[in-house]
Structure 1
Amino acid sequence: MKAELLTERVRITHKRLRKELLSRVLDEFDGQIMGLSEAKRLQKYAKMAGSPFSFYRGSAYLFYFDVSREWFPYHSSPERPTWVQGDLHFENFGAFRSEEGRIVYDVNDFDEGYLGSYLYDLLRMSVSIALVCRTKQIEEEGQAHAITTYLEAYVNQIRRFAKRKDDPRTLVFDKDRTAGLLRKLLKKTEKRVASQFLEGVTTLTRTARRFAKSDEIVPPTAEERRKLEESWPHYVASLAESTKRPDGYYAIKDVAVKHGSGTASIGLDRYYVLIEGEGGEHALDDRILEVKEVRAPVPAYFMPYSESFWTHFSHQGKRVMTTQQAMHHEADPFLGYLTIGGRDFYVRERSPYKKRLKADKITRLEELMPVLECMGKITAKLHARADADVEHGLIAYHSEDEIHRAIGTDTDAFCDHIAGWAHSYAHQVEEDYDLFKAWLGERMD
């Protein structure tokens, strides 16, 4: 009986200490660093409380707090870091139209891009795969198979890059290089009419096209609009000269505040801007640009400090823009950045072709495997691609060579190690999720 009481005391103490850690990390990042109001914090936490995966999406700082304190045998050299995506998970992949007009499948979120070990992207993605599998009641053996499928595809593609058999600067994943659900997604996305999104969020009056008010799209205050319009010339000046149109093309026709997007980004300002395009006032070639506030990337608080990186990217909008340009060889020609009220923003097109493969559309493990294989190859492409066009001299070596060297020759050992860790950490996420809900309930009392 005494032994049982002691065991129970240890268990309770362990949970209490973890809950206190969770509370301190949330207070530090959402409260002190992000400066979110209590209302914004509760809005974010309500979304995180939806599922363990939603909690995981919204608490990247907890992941990095944990993982940066663990030892892994496969890290690349700190002196030769990789440009990482920084928040890689299952729902940060999607279909969209590239600059060349092709519908491709790729990563579509670069807010947390930073320099660090390639392994952090793989670890975060592998845990998300385990969590997605658990929502589908896939057994542990199937979870391990799913994670290994992703990792093997990554390793094999990195080796092809390192051996110069494939070129990360030209490799894309369109309907000819995908299969199964992804190919269906891309073909379906191709059939979308370019004006579909435009007509869905705007309305045409007798004199002009304007944003239609909804729960997620609301008019800005006069002050918000004034500040954005004053900063707009700086955005136009930041555009790449190779794809830039005449200034009149970017003339603002209307502005709206966008609510309800993302999980980790709740509390950051986001606007939709309707610009003129090439046609007249009533034309359907108007473009909708998304202006999104961005802060310092979460990985930066846990990875080695890089003075050269911060010298080049003190503006966080420029960092996000450059990350996407580095990782996509056909990047959005509307990518740019500006400052509004002392806060950093980046700008991108709100593509009418943007579409994501939702996890609930996948019903069988057999359907999931080709998706994960493609995601593994795309992750390898991101890491190998990011050093190709960056003109700032931050990466003067081939990342794929460094990663290839760090992984070594034993693919099975590498995959088993990462998959085993991911499976264990997914358990931790589920335990943290329960602690989080208890903590949130106490906070709201």
Structure 2
Amino acid sequence: MGLRRHIPRVTVVRMSEEDHLTPAANPPIDMTSWRQADTPRERACAGFTARDKAPLSSHAVWRVREGRREAIALLEEQSATRVPDLVPLRYKRMSASAFTFYRGTALIMTNDLVSTPVTGIPVQCVGDAHIGNFGMFRSPSARLVFDINDFDETAIGPWEWDLKRLAVSVEICGRANGIKEKARRAAVMRCVHTYRERIKQFSEMDYLDAWYDHIDVTETLDRFEKTQSGKRNRTLRDAAAKAAVRDSDAAAAKLTYLEGGKLRFRSDPPELAPINELQDYADIEALQARIDTLLGHYRHSLYEDRRHVFDHYRYHDSARKVVGVGSVGQRAWVAVFTGRDIDDPLMLQMKEATYSVLEHYCGASPYATHGERVVQGQKLIQSTADVLLGWSSFIAEDGRKRDYYVRQLWNGKGSIDIDDLNEMELSDLGRMCARCLAHAHARTGDSIAIANYLGGSDEFDQAIATFAVSYAEQNDEDYAVFRKLIESGELPCA
């Protein structure tokens, strides 16, 4: 792939505890000033000119700051709006490793990226594009595809922030799995090279052709294995096999039981708690009424044909379900329905949507609710969205309006087991994620400008690989502070 090493590595620089930047003290990023030119030539020139504002090599620099208690304070600010009883579980999951900590710190990294060089070329960002937020799912044509699968933070922002978060996650994941430094750097380089290569290809395609592009899982794995002397990527193959059977039938079999002719959710608190067991709600009947309101408003967010599908299902039961790592504490519900008969279940997830981390730094979303922000963002950047994707809101028990987005819980969803990736598997996964990210940015941003900003050399690849090392060190430092606060009892941990 021509991964040359003509750019020297940047030494990791550490700052003293007194030399910190105050979180959120940096001025917001203006994402409204970019105006896409009319012709491809003008767009190319605009992209190249963006190097004056943010030279390619400038992206390499990150100065590690030690003892950042104020960074952890950002997590505490997030937790203040979440279900109090679940905050200790959130911190427990984040404390498992440096990588699980990274998964929950999109706000911290976004706050840090504000102080780095910014190209000013906007896209619909993922907002939290680490490798754990990509996966497999079944398309409406029943093919297994690979794409971005988490959109809680999606909003308008600088394209390079997504790529930096992805590259750093490859580096951190490689460290967690004991992959050697040289191989980790190569995996990060291949990830960034793939993004650069794919954004160039998309910039040269007819726009509708680029829009329809997607990653077919079987075809992609076959192609990878042909170029790797037939070496089988067992992790991705296993994920594909599991995804093929993860549907509403499987979800209902795992999470519900039959009682009196209706499906009822099993009790497994705090992971899964039927609504009639939620002791922190004073009036369960009022809670059920709010769930009914949520589902009614959701129905009206669907296109008419999808509403027709939804109307064929009959409601049975709901439960609160804990999801994710960084998302723990946000309110999330599951509801089970049946269609033709009791053996035709549909499982929907209703997940709370709050401010995107990007909105703190790049401006508020134009959508009326955060549920709609997530859904419309997903439809913009994902190659083929869930046909039952919609949004809703209701007034909660405390009088506050809460926004939600709704989707199928399992529609062939397959998560990648990233805890045991070997060198080849990490490289393959990083490349697939980078291709998806380039596709998302080409659909929603100026791909010609981005491609010409990046250019044809690997200067940017080298810079991001160096940044990934430095920021992984920053993540380790912040993780150490986080663990100390848990051990001292300053932060609650389940």
TM-score, normalised to structure 2's length?
0.77
The one-letter code sitting in structure 2 at the alignment partner of 1:374 is M
| TM-fit CA distance, 1:352 | 4.9
Q: Distance in 2 between matches of 1:291 and 1:87?
A: 20
| Aligned residue among 294, 300, 322 for 1:231 | 294
1:158 and 2:158 matched: no
Query: What is the alpha-carbon distance in structure 1 between the residues aligned to residue 310 and residue 69 of structure 2?
Result: 53
**Could you tell me whether the CA contact under 8 Å between 1:244 and 1:333 is conserved in 2?**
no
Residue 25 of structure 1: CA displacement? 2.4
Aligned position for 2:77: 28
- Aligned counterparts of 1:264 and 1:93: Cα–Cα separation in 2: 15
Whether the 8 Å contact between 1:249 and 1:275 is mirrored in structure 2 is no
Q: Please provide the CA RMSD for this pair.
A: 2.4
What is the match of residue 451 of structure 2? Answer: 404
Distance 1:203 1:49, change over 3 A: same
**Which of residues 174, 178, 197 in structure 2 aligns to 1:133?**
174
State whether residues 86 and 114 of structure 1, in contact with CA within 8 Å, keep that contact through their aligned partners in structure 2. yes
CA distance in 2, matches of 1:168, 1:328: 12
State percent identity of aligned pairs. 27
For residues 238 and 294 of structure 2, what CA distance do their matches in structure 1 show?
A: 41
Q: Deviations over 1:246-270 (max 9, x none)?
A: 56324322111112x1122121111
Structure 1 193/438 Cα, relative in aligned 2: closer, same or farther at 3 Å? Answer: closer
* Cα distance in structure 1, aligned partners of 2:360 and 2:420: 35
| Pair 1:204–1:173, CA change in 2 (3 A) | same
Separation (CA, whole Å) in 2 of partners of 1:428 and 1:377: 26
Task: Letter of the 1:58 partner, please give it.
Answer: G
Residues 151/208 of structure 1: CA separation in 2 closer, same or farther (3 Å cut): same
**What letter is aligned with 2:69?**
E
**Partner residue in 2 for 1:47:** 93
State the one-letter code of the partner of 2:71.
L
Question: Match of 1:219?
Answer: 274
SS of the residue aligned with 1:404? helix
Q: Is there any run of 5+ residues in structure 1 with no aligned partner, and where?
A: 1-9, 388-397
Deviation at 1:110, TM superposition (A): 0.6
Query: How big is the shift at 1:190?
Result: 2.7
Provide closer, same or farther for how the CA distance between residues 185 and 437 of structure 1 changes in structure 2, counting only shifts above 3 A.
closer
Deviates more, 1:94-103 or 1:185-194: 185-194
Distance in 1 between residues matched to 2:93 and 2:247, nearest whole Å: 31
Q: Kindly report which structure 2 residues correspond to 1:103-252, keeping only aligned pairs within 5 A, or say none.
A: 103-164=144-205, 167-174=209-216, 175-178=218-221, 179=224, 180-181=233-234, 182-190=236-244, 195-215=249-269, 216-220=271-275, 221-245=284-308, 248-252=311-315
CA gap 1:188/1:41 in 2 versus in 1, 3 angstroms: closer
Q: Which amino acid aligns with 1:378?
A: C
Q: Quick check: 120-129 or 167-176, which moved more?
A: 167-176
Alignment of 1:61-140 (within 5 A): 61-72=107-118, 75-77=119-121, 81-140=122-181
CA contact (8 A) 1:290 1:347 kept: yes
| Partner AA of 2:185 in structure 1 | A
Letter in 1 for 2:79: D
Q: CA deviation at 1:28?
A: 3.2
Q: Which has the higher contact order (CA 8 A, sep 6+)?
A: 2
Amino acid at match of 2:143: R
Alignment equivalent of 1:254, drawn from 317, 328, 345: 317
What letter matches 2:129 in structure 1? L
Cα distance in 1 between the residues matched to 2:480 and 2:164: 22
| Bigger mean CA offset, 138-147 vs 149-158 | 138-147
In structure 2, do the counterparts of structure 1 residues 244 and 136 end up closer, same or farther at CA, with 3 Å as the change threshold? same
Letter in 1 for 2:330: L
TM-aligned CA distance change 1:35 to 1:176, over 3 Å:
closer
Match of 1:373 in 2: 431
**CA displacement at 1:172 relative to structure 2:** 1.9
* Cα distance in 1 for residues equivalent to 2:193 and 2:415: 23
Letter in 1 for 2:91: Y
